[in-house]
Structure 1
Amino acid sequence: MSNSIIQNFSVIFISIVLEALPFILLGSIISAVIQVFISEDTIAKILPKNKLLGVLAAALSGLIFPVCECAVIPIGRRLIKKGVPLNMAVAFMLSVPIVNPIVLLSTYYAFHGRPYIVLLRGGLGLFIAVAIGMLVDIFQQGKEAVKLSYIDSGNLCSCGYDHSYKKKESRFMEVIYHTNSELYDIGKFLILGAFISAFFQTIIERDYVLKLGQHPVYSIIAMMLFAYLISLCSEADAFIASTFLGQFTPGAIIAFLILGPMIDIKNTLMLSASFKKGFIVKLISLIFIMCFAAGFIVNAVINI
């Protein structure tokens, strides 16, 4: 391996990590504050009773409650337990990691001020979350989605921090612990994602990447699978996606930016702990189909 390849790899890897870190830190702090000070009862109370308006409000709640990704699924499950309809909880879980001021800001920064990418990510992400929320009622047909055997604990999220001793700790210390835990969890995936991205840019022959990346269908499938497997935080994934500009189709990049926050390996494991298998299969299938359709449409009409 030549020195130039090592140098290029190092520059790409370090630049991705350094660009993403401020947004990860800011997002972790804000989500930790919301996690500690705002309960799911508050969210449940502000959701409209009308089905369509409720789903739309739940999807837009990420603008007000940009909670951490580790908490989205547990919060959604507990919203269901508190009487919030399944379709609203699903829209909440899918949209919050995308319709999030920190995520949208990081996307704008990562793509060097290309506002249309931010609009595509936010607009299509919101539309898909609302559409899947409405479709869930049809496909689920009133069947129970949540595992009845799953026992609620005092922990609201799956971040690894034990919230059960919050009475003994100050709220400030809770925020510190939660932020620290999320930074550690997100950091691992960021480093892995940056490594893979840098590897693609420097080690693999550009002709092979372009052959896959410029195909209108295979490029979308490849980037969706990449998003699912890499399990990146939505505050950092834009910095990974931006390195593929010019190598992968615009639809593939948009599909990556939408699917990753909605479902990945770690979120699938969280779903399996709380929800029934049949519901999980339907939900993941809908997400992949809708994200692929969005990417295909973008490829048909836009050239980034």
Structure 2
Amino acid sequence: MEEPPVTAPTTTKGTPGPEKGTPSPEKGTTIGSLEVLAVVLVLLVLARGRIAGLISGAALQTWSTVFVSVLVQAVPFLVFGVVLSAVIAVFVPRGFWARALPSHPALAVPAAGVAGVILPGCECGSVPIAGSLIRRGVTPAAALAFLLAAPAINPIVLTATVIAFPGEPMMAVARGVASLVVAVAMGWLWLRVGKPEWIKLPHRPDLDDESKARAFWAACRHDIMHAGGFLVLGAAAAATINVVIPAAWLQSLAGYPVLSVIALATLAVLLSICSEADAFVAASLSQFSLTSRLVFLVVGPMVDLKLISMQTGVFGRRFAMRFAPATFVAAILVGSAFGVVLL
């Protein structure tokens, strides 16, 4: 049975309106992620003296370095994804995706996953693009397969993996195939058990009545507000984890095969490294097995703190609470299997 696309609720005049139980925009100002972020930043500036006194200079320096590095890695690809999302929303006809993808959802999922190879970006750009695809009528299962596959199987990421592991050419092959299998499996799982109400796309102003230029910039502003604010919050969480977790803990787990896989999978979530750079981090973890490092590379582009935050902002909390844990488990199982067989 074909899964219905997720669309915004409509009023009697045919324009998007608020969901039942949601206050109308005319009755008050909606507080979004951008406003919350602004308040948090102001509070941090006002309390910077007290915060600096509580945290040692070295820890604070590490925190700020990790925070800035995550943003520097992610922001260019976020902007790329937002712009491409706006192009899809404004310039691509609504019927294009119905013609480009197989009509049967079960076949559209692997087709969308393989299409991820043409996007030279990271997970930050794939989130707004997937949201725009769903708005344009693509079945959510196919859009989610694209979201997971694009950051892991595109040529830039696979080339970086080959360079990072010069003596292990199968590492890039295993990463690409395992990531595609996870993406397709999660798409099919969504077809099986996913519910349309679990995805709550934020209300976007109707773009069809605007000029192309105005609609394009409106879509860009909308996606930057909802994805960018959560990206900053995710980067802050990743920086905090880097400061809190002692490196010695990882050293003690390297000798245990199962625990090392779980440890590096968890580390991939916490570090939130961009998929273009994570292969070099994995290569530096030489005390761990190739299989555990493969799991690190499969999990990272699909589930990390900044990605979970962005998915919450774009698709809603109910979606992120279900999709991220399921993807995490699937990535560990599939990555481990391909590591044992190919490495």
TM-score, normalised relative to structure 1: 0.68
Give identity over the alignment, percent.
32
Q: Counterpart in 2 of 1:297?
A: 337
Equivalent runs, 1:26-175 vs 2, <5 Å = 45-112=99-166, 114-140=168-194, 142-147=195-200, 150-152=202-204, 167=213
CA distance in 2, matches of 1:73, 1:129: 14
Task: Give the deviation of 1:229 after TM superposition.
Answer: 1.4
Q: Is the 8 A contact 1:56 1:130 kept in 2?
A: yes
Per-residue deviation, 1:298: 4.3
Conserved 8 A contact 2:88-2:133: no
Normalising by structure 2, we get a TM-score of: 0.61
Seen in structure 2, the aligned counterparts of structure 1 residues 276 and 35 have a Cα distance that, compared at 3 Å, is: closer
Decide whether aligned partners of structure 1 residues 291 and 83 sit closer, same or farther in structure 2, where only a CA change above 3 A counts. Answer: same
Aligned residues: 256
Q: Please give the residue correspondences for 1:8-19 in structure 2 after superposition, counting only pairs within 5 Å.
A: none
CA separation in 2, counterparts of 1:225 and 1:127?
20
Q: Please list the CA deviations of residues 247-292 of structure 1 after superposition, one character each: whole Å capped at 9, or x if unmatched.
A: 1122221111111111211121122123243332221122111112
Contact 1:55-1:87 within 8 A present in 2 as well = yes
The 8 Å contact of residues 85 and 128 in structure 2, kept in 1 or not, is answered as: no
1:222 CA drift (Å): 1.2
The one-letter code sitting in structure 2 at the alignment partner of 1:281 is M
Alignment of 1:257-276 (within 5 A): 257-276=297-316
> Is the 2:85–2:132 contact (alpha carbons within 8 Å) kept by the matching residues of 1?
no
| Structure 2 equivalent of residue 223 of structure 1 | 264
CA separation of 1:284/1:33 partners in 2, compared to 1, >3 Å: closer, same or farther? closer
Stretches of structure 2 that go unaligned for 5 or more consecutive residues are 1-64
Unaligned runs of 5+ in 1: 1-12, 156-163
2:281 maps to which residue?
Answer: 240
Closer, same or farther: CA 73–154 of 1 in aligned 2, 3 Å: farther
- Residues 233 and 221 of structure 1: CA distance in aligned 2, closer, same or farther (over 3 Å): same
User: Aligned letter for 1:151?
Assistant: H
In structure 2, what residue type is equivalent to 1:225?
T
What is the rounded CA distance, in whole Å, between the counterparts of 2:102 and 2:78 in structure 1? Answer: 28
- Shift in Å, 1:211: 3.5
> Hey, what's the Cα distance between the residues in 2 that align with 1:63 and 1:57?
11
Query: Is the contact between residue 250 and residue 295 of structure 1 (CA under 8 Å) also seen in structure 2?
Result: no
Aligned counterparts of 2:324 and 2:77: Cα–Cα separation in 1: 26
Cα distance in 1 for residues equivalent to 2:205 and 2:166: 43
Structure 1 residues 35 and 271, CA, compared in 2 at 3 Å: closer, same or farther?
Answer: closer
